[in-house]
Amino acid sequence: MFRLLMVAVGVAVLLTSRVPAGDDPADDPKPKKQAAQKPSLKVEGKLTEDDPKDKFLKKSPHKVHQYKMKAKSVYVIDLSSKDFDSVLRIEDSKEKHLAANDDFNPPNLDSRLIFKAPKDDTYRIIATNLDGKEGSYLLTVRAGTEEDIRKADPFHAMIGKPAPEIVGEFSINGEARKLSELKGKVVLLDFWAVWCGPCIRTFPHLRDWDKKFKKDGLEILGVTTYFQRFGFDKEKGQLKQVAKQTKDEDTGKVKIEGLLKPAQEHEVIKDFAAHHKLTYELMTMTQANWAKASKDYRITGIPHVVLVDRAGNIRMVRVGSSEENAEALREEIQKLLAQK
C-alpha cells in the first residue's frame, strides 16, 4: 500500500526529467565527477514505542526533524537502519506531504530522497519504517546537484534521445497519424484512459495549454487504447461498466461478455471528450501498439506525460496529476516553444 502512496504523491517531486538547452548529457560523454558533499545534518536517532504513530504508516513510530531549505536548491536525504525497513518522508511546514521513499536501492532497505525544495521553508523530515519496529537509525542531509536528480530519475536515460514512434489508429479533433509527422512542433504526449481519475484532474491544465500555446507551435496528443469495458452515460456524465465477467461452474474458466468493439469505443471517447470539453487531439492505439509504447516510454502508471522538442527529442517526463508537475511542464513548454 505504501508503495502506491509513493507513486501517487512522491513522484511529483522526485520524478523530474529535464535537460536545459545546451546542457544535454550527450554533449559530454565523460561528465566530471562531483566531489561528495559533507552532511549538513547528521542525526543518530532511535524510534521507540513512545513515539507517535506515522499518519500514513499507522502502526509505525516516527520522529520529525526540522530542516531549513532554500527554494530550488537540491538536497540528498538518507535514512539508514540495521533494525528496520526504513521509510523516509518529507512535509512542508504546514505538514503537507510532499515526497516519500521506501527502498531506494533494493534489496538494500535504506531510504533516500533527492529533493528539490519548491520554496524557502522549514521542512519536516520524517523518519519511520514499514514494519512497525523500534530501533536506531542514521539520518543525514547534504547539498545535492541537478546531476543527483538526473541519476535518481528512472527516465534519465530517455532525456535528449529521439522519441520512439507512436502510431495512431483513430483520432478525434485531428487525424490519426504518426508522432514523427509532428516534427517541427513541440509535442506533449499524454498517456491516459477514460477510467483514470488522476488523468481527469489534469484536463484543466491541458485545455488551458492548448488554448494558450497551440498558436505558438504546441501540439497536445492524448494517447489511449481500447479497454473495451466501459460505456459513457452522457446524461450523468460518468462511465458505466458494460462488460460482465462470468465463471463457468463446470470448468471454472472465467469468461468476459459484452466487450466493446473498436467502433463502439470510439463513440465512448467522443462522448467523454465532449463532456470534458477536450479540444486537443485524442488518439487511440491498438493494444499491441500501446504495449510497445508502454515499454518504449517506460509507462508504469498514468497520466504519463512526455514533452518532445521540435527536433523530436524527449525533454521531460512527468507522472501523476500534482500541481508541481503542472508547473514544471508549463515552464518547460514555454522554454521549448521559445527555441525556434
* Residue 316 φ/ψ, nearest 5 degrees: -155, 145
Question: What global pTM score does this model have?
Answer: 0.65
Residues 205-260 have pLDDT tens digits of: 999 999 999 999 999 999 999 999 999 988 899 999 888 888 888 888 888 888 99
Please give the grid coordinates belonging to residue 96: 503537507
- Domain 162-338 in the same topology as domain 2-29+37-153: no
Domain ranges of the chain: 2-29+37-153, 162-338
Neighbours of 282 (CB within 10 A): 23
Residues 149-204 have pLDDT tens digits of: 878 878 888 999 999 999 999 999 999 989 999 999 999 999 999 999 999 999 99
The class of domain 2-29+37-153 in CATH terms is mainly beta
% of the chain beyond a pLDDT of 90: 68
Neighbours of 105 (CB within 10 A): 9
The candidate with the shortest Cα–Cα distance to 281, out of 208, 331, 198, 219, is 219
Residues 49-74 have pLDDT tens digits of: 999 999 989 999 999 999 999 999 99
What 8-state DSSP symbol labels residue 157?
A: G
Decide: residue 120, CB within 10 A, 0-12 exposed, 13-18 middle, 19+ buried: exposed
Residues 304-316 have pLDDT tens digits of: 999 999 999 999 9
Q: Note the CATH architecture for domain 162-338.
A: 3-Layer(aba) Sandwich (3.40)
